[in-house]
A and B are shown apart, each in its own frame.
Chain A
Amino acid sequence: MAIVMPLIAALIVLFGLIRGVPVFDSFMLGVRDGARTLKMIAPTILGLVFAVTLLKTSGAVDVICSAVKPVADALGFPSEIVPMALLRPVSGSGSSALLIQVYKDCGADSFAGRVASVIAGSSETTFYATAMYFGCVRVKRIRHTLVAALAADFTAMAVSVIAVRLYFGYNL
């Protein structure tokens, strides 16, 4: 699978050559655009990394988790993966680290490990993506974007548990 990315790059360059495009000139023009885009998203990323680091090191995640855990238990949501599910919308690297923790504690093929995998595979870092995409065009009023995005995240979490139970034949 590691070949997909380089292969796509090569195919695009090849297609450009066949169509008679001055590929290297085009490439350099594009790189200039890329550098400009980074300048637009840099403040957003700095702000988010700052907030997420604070959240992780201060123990605030534990506080929120202990508040959410009783609810999760009542709904049949494995309590081992509550921290990972909570951090998922905010931080990709943070939730990956917690995903690995679940694998180490419970095993990758355990119920908790499978549910955590499905959540990781079917959701994205919502706040990060939203802030970055709107930050790059300086749009401030994002209307109901977060409402819809968080509804999707919540659906992914709920459906993950149900899908894993049905697919692997656990008791509902």
Chain B
Amino acid sequence: MLNYIWSGIVILSVGCAIVFGKAESLSAAMVDSAAEAVELLLTLLGILCLWSGIMRIAGDSGLTRLLSRLFAPVLHPLFPRLDRESEAFGAISMNITANLLGLGNTATPFGLKAMEELHRADPSCDVATDEMVVFVVMNTASLQLLPTMLGSLRQSYGSREPFEILVPVWISSACALTVALVTAVGLNRLTGKEGRRLGWRSSCLLSRR
């Protein structure tokens, strides 16, 4: 699906640029985009390494396990097949803590770690498991309680009460998250049965052999 979206964006953009006569600025932008991507990667490298280091300390000291126990009542129903003491469960808990605190950049390293742990169960498989779907969908919905970045942005552009939007943000986030989880879990159940019949699970088992 990502293949189609990505190629769709590229082809549509180039088509539009030709129609509007923006071919020149587009070719300049292509070169710039590569530099921009490298810059982004360098920023990410710093954040990723720093927080992976901190996370390792949290893991070795047992802090992650404490957090997993705290979140287990909420998270266990969403990830019923995951062991509460597993590394994956810990990483998911850390990711959610960072998201709730509005530390988006910090949540990413925890989330990537969680994906690696979830993938470890069947490393050769290129099909998303139920747990991966639920986890990624949860991360594409917003979980933050205090949108600090948004508040400071509003303030610097002349809002008299930058945080007046807090309650509508919570309402909207809660609705979006509910829809996300209900859709993901519902479709998991549906395609789980369907999938077994169509054989995508067994195709993974075969490729492992």
Contact = CB atoms under 8 A, between A and B. Distances in A.
B72 interface: no
B71 interface: no
Interface string B98-137: 0001110010110111011011000001111000110111
A16 B180 contact: no
A21 B53 CA distance: 13
A49 B33 contact: yes
Contacts of A72: none
B74 interface: no
Contacts of B148: 1
Nearest to B155: A108
Interface in A4-20: 4-5, 8-9, 12-13, 15-16, 18-19
A103 B54 contact: no
Given A122-B173, A153-B176, A155-B175, A37 B154 contact: no
A140 B139 contact: no
Prevailing SS type, chain B contact patch: helix
Interface of B: 1-2, 5-6, 9-10, 12-17, 20, 22, 25-26, 29-30, 32-34, 36-37, 40-41, 44-45, 48-63, 101-103, 106, 108-109, 111-113, 115-116, 118-119, 125-128, 132-133, 135-137, 139-142, 144, 146-148, 150, 153-154, 157-162, 164-165, 167-169, 171-173, 175-177, 179-180, 183-184, 187-188, 191, 200
Nearest to B9: A51
Contacts of A9: 54
B158 A151 contact: no
Interface of A: 1, 4-5, 8-9, 12-13, 15-16, 18-19, 21, 23, 26-31, 33-35, 37-38, 40-42, 45-60, 63, 90, 96, 99-100, 103-104, 107-109, 113-114, 117-127, 129-134, 136-149, 151-153, 155-156, 159-160, 163-164, 167-168
Contacts of A164: 165, 168
B187 to A, nearest CB: 4
Prevailing SS type, chain A contact patch: helix
Contact of B33 (A50, A119, A133, A155): A50
Contacts of B56: 26-27, 29-30, 33
A138 B128 CA distance: 10
21 contacts: A4-B103, A8-B106, A16-B60, A26-B60, A54-B17, A55-B12, A58-B12, A118-B169, A132-B108, A133-B111, A133-B132, A134-B132, A137-B116, A137-B132, A139-B127, A144-B188, A144-B191, A146-B1, A148-B187, A152-B141, A159-B176
